[in-house]
Amino acid sequence: NYRSRSVYKLIELDQKYKLLNPGNVVIDCGAAPGGWSQYISQKVFLDITKEEKNSSTIADDNDGDDNLIVADRKEEQEQKGLVIAIDLLSILPIHGVNFIQGDFTHASIQKKLQDLLKGRKADIVVSDMAPNFSGQHLADHVKSMDLCEAALSLSDQILKSEGSFLCKFLMGGTEEEFKKRLQERFKQVRYEKPDASRPKSTEGYYMCLGYKNNIEP
Ligand code: SAM
Ligand 1 centroid to 76 CA: how many Å? Answer: 31
Residue 188 domain-assigned (yes or no): yes
Q: Which atom of ligand 1 is nearest to the CA of 168?
A: 9
Q: Is the distance from CB of 182 to CB of 166 less than 8 angstroms?
A: no
Q: Are 207 and 192 in contact (CB under 8 A)?
A: yes
Cis status, amide bond into 131, omega within 30 of 0: no
Residue numbers of the domain that contains 152: 7-45+81-211
| ipTM (interface pTM) | 0.99
Provide the pLDDT for residue 2: 97
81 and 44 Cβ atoms separated by less than 8 Å: yes
User: Between these two residues, 60 and 142, which has the higher pLDDT value?
Assistant: 142
- pLDDT tens digits, 159-188: 999 999 999 999 999 999 999 999 999 999
| CA distance linking residue 205 with residue 13, whole number of Å | 10
Does 51 fall in a domain? no
Banded pLDDT at 15 (limits 50, 70, 90)? very high
Task: Give the total number of structural domains in the chain.
Answer: 1
CATH number of the CATH domain containing 195: 3.40.50.150
Q: Is the pTM here over 0.90, yes or no?
A: no
Q: Is residue 55 part of a domain?
A: no
Mutate to test the pocket of ligand 1, among 14, 39, 88 (most ligand atoms within 8 A of CB): 88
For residue 54, pLDDT beyond 70: no
> Is 97 part of any domain?
yes
| Catalytic residue (one of 168, 179, 187, 193) | 168
65: confidence class by pLDDT, cuts 50, 70, 90: low
* Least confident span in 3-7, 35-39, 62-66, 124-128: 62-66
Cα dihedral 137, 155, 84, 21 sign: positive
Report the pLDDT value the prediction gives residue 76, as an integer from 0 to 100: 63
Determine, yes or no, domain membership for 179. Answer: yes
**Per-position b or e across 14-25, b if 16+ CB within 10 A of its CB:** beeeebbebebb
> Is 2 within a domain?
no
Query: Is 89 a member of any domain?
Result: yes
The verdict on residue 124 lying in a domain is yes
